[in-house]
Amino acid sequence: MNKSKTKPQTSITVAGKPIVDNNDSSLNLQETLDYQKFIKETVVNDSYFRDSLDWYLFRYVKPVSDRSMLFFIVLIIGFIFYLIKSMLDVAYPAGHNRLKLPIVISQPLFVNFIDKGKYQPNLLALKKINTDKKLTTDQIIIKHFLSFFVKNFEEFDYSSANLLLVNQKTDLIRNMSSYQVYTQFQKVMEKSTPNSPMLYFGQNYQKTINITNIEFLYPETKSGFKENIDNLLNKIIIQVKPQVPDSAIVSFSETIKTVDEFKKTKIINNNYRYWVKFKYNSITKYDKNFNFTILKYIKQK
């Protein structure tokens, strides 16, 4: 029995691809030598391993990166669409046509109308309503300083037993008032005066006020022929420049809050009216010296 010997099959592969196969009769020896020389050169200059790494990255790593980038792009686009939908929900509530543009709802501007009940809900205030619209600039400034002075003159809370608060109040009254009013304030602060704030120094005794009204008073007009001429001229001047008040009646409510040793709170409310005479010099184009001084501070019955 004759046994035929078979030649073993051998092949040379690069990156899983056969480049030399002994069974391929079409591959001559010169091609085999060229392949071997090429592989040897690429191994020597390290290009073989670089090309292998590039092939690996391109085949396995880059697709993963592309998919991740695509995921983030889709996520950002979805977030943008969500924001657009949220804005449309605010601009167009349920039941409105969202495809109707512009999204700004226009309302007519009414100067006057008969049926107020029909258009009143659609009216919008173009500017803040000024409660002092009848007051001049000087009157507004005087009103502010009068309120500031009366509050500092009447209010006190020395429960912390801080002498610095007393000194600050004293300096403020001295700077804003005449010597007569400052002396009046010093007398109020003396312990010999009934209900003096210093009698409650360090105690849970608090006095606050709320100014309810300020009524301005103007200089009295003179009598006589010459004075009538002066008054007539003053009226003409007042039409050009509003008259500045020289005194006012300040009405305020007083609240006294006390706490005894048993933590029991007691509240007392009173109402007062004071006549305040002051000197005011407004700032003008030609006179830059501002002056506001309290001349008299008298309690009214």
Q: What class is the 137-300 domain?
A: alpha beta
Exposed, middle or buried: residue 146 (CB in 10 Å: 0-12, 13-18, 19+)?
buried
Using an 8 Å Cβ cutoff, are 248 and 142 in contact? yes
Whether residue 132 is predicted with pLDDT greater than 70 in this model: the reply is no
Using an 8 Å Cβ cutoff, are 150 and 211 in contact? yes
More confident residue, 76 or 14: 76
- Minimum mean pLDDT range among 63-67, 94-98, 273-277: 94-98
Exposed, middle or buried: residue 156 (CB in 10 Å: 0-12, 13-18, 19+)?
buried
- Minimum mean pLDDT range among 62-71, 111-120, 132-141, 284-293: 111-120
Mean pLDDT of 137-160: 91
Spans of all domains in the chain: 27-100, 137-300
Q: Residues of the chain with pLDDT > 90: what percent?
A: 32
Q: What is the model's pLDDT at position 278?
A: 94
Whether residue 1 is predicted with pLDDT greater than 60 in this model: the reply is no
Whether residue 77 is predicted with pLDDT greater than 80 in this model: the reply is yes
More confident residue, 77 or 33: 77
Q: Residues of the chain with pLDDT > 70: what percent?
A: 67
Q: What is the model's pLDDT at position 281?
A: 85
pLDDT band at 71; cut points 50, 70, 90: confident
How would you write the chain as a 3-class SS string?
CCCCCCCCCCEEEECCEEEEECCCCCCCHHHHHHHHHHHHHHHHCCHHHHHHHHHHHHHHHHHHHHHHHHHHHHHHHHHHHHHHHHHHHHHCCCCCCCCCCCCCCCCCCCCCCCCHHHHHHHCCCCCCCCCCCCCCHHHHHHHHHHHHHHHHHHCEECCCCCHHHHHHHHHHHHHHECHHHHHHHHHHHCCCCCCCHHHHCCCCEEEEEEEEEEEEECCCCCCCHHHHHHHHHHHHHHHHCCCCCCEEEEEEEEEEEEECCCCCEEEEEEEEEEEEEEEEECCCCCCCCCEEEEEEEEEEC
Q: What is the model's pLDDT at position 238?
A: 43
Whether residue 188 is predicted with pLDDT greater than 60 in this model: the reply is yes
More confident residue, 109 or 65: 65
Q: Please state, in angstroms and rounded to a whole number, the distance separating the CA atoms of residues 164 and 123.
A: 52
Residue among 26, 28, 23 nearest 9 (CA): 23
More confident residue, 243 or 226: 243
- Minimum mean pLDDT range among 13-17, 77-81, 201-205: 13-17
- Find where tokens 């429960």 sit: 159
Q: Which residues pair with 77 in a beta bridge?
A: none
Reported pTM: 0.51
Mean pLDDT of 257-269: 88
pLDDT band at 4; cut points 50, 70, 90: very low
